[in-house]
Structure 1
Amino acid sequence: MKDASGKIAAEEVYFTSNMQNHHGGMVVIDGCLYGANGGNGGGFLTCLDFHTGDVLWRDRKAPKGSLLVANEQLYLRSEEDEILLIEPSQEEFIERGRFVQPDRSRAPAWAHPIVANGKLFIRDQGLLFCYDVSAQ
């Protein structure tokens, strides 16, 4: 919105403590904000109404981690060792797949997953894994 002098001015729409994102990678899909909610003490995936900040759902089966959207799916790289495929939904958490990264280091996994050209890239310290996620 512009102020009286024509300069752009930000205006707070709402404030919520229901999304304490720790890793980044929050995404908005169809008016829903998805993010890994929780600080250093753990956390889990949360879905908010992007326009109001109301909590639509949160689920501990999806741990805290880095998040991205590709191919109309959410990819969650947990801080510990699991990678999840999640169907976006404003009603509930819908898991479509999960696997544990092989040769996992002991360091927390904070590198964001990347999807490019039908390939999912997962980095863990000095290791890089590539998975084919293209439609068959």
Structure 2
Amino acid sequence: MSKQEILSWTSLGTALSVLFFYVLFVFGWPGFLPDYSDQLYNLFFKIFWIAVAIELVLDFIDKKNKVDKDERDFMIEAYGVKYAYNFLMIAIVFILVQIPLSEVFGQVSELHELLGSKRVIFHALFIIILTATLIKRGTMIYYYRKDFV
């Protein structure tokens, strides 16, 4: 595995852990599911710190004369950025359309009023940013595993 692929895996693990903790702390554990939150908390906490440790170790052992990225790495990263950017733009446009709709239809439905609140929009945007990171890194891992040329 190349350094960029290892960094993609660690970034994927870190973003997934942050997303899990954020959703768990903000929205809580769903009541209809058996409570495995302690086991999952321990698992994602370990994944987060292992990913951070791997990134630090890679930075310390990296040689200055070594080439960090070649054309293949730039091309794979471009595909990841492309898909993450497309997802991000679609999600932001959806939220921008939802805000005026919630103002117009806010009196009709409590759902529209809830979706138009600043608190929900903030949480949605934060989750969208983390999901875009997951899409970027997932795409990069896919192309590294595919042996993209």
Give the number of the structure whose residues are more often helix, by fraction: 2
Which of the five TM-score ranges fits, normalised by the shorter chain? under 0.3
Structure exhibiting the larger radius of gyration computed from Cα positions: 2
TM-score after normalising by structure 2: 0.17
Give the number of the structure whose residues are more often strand, by fraction: 1
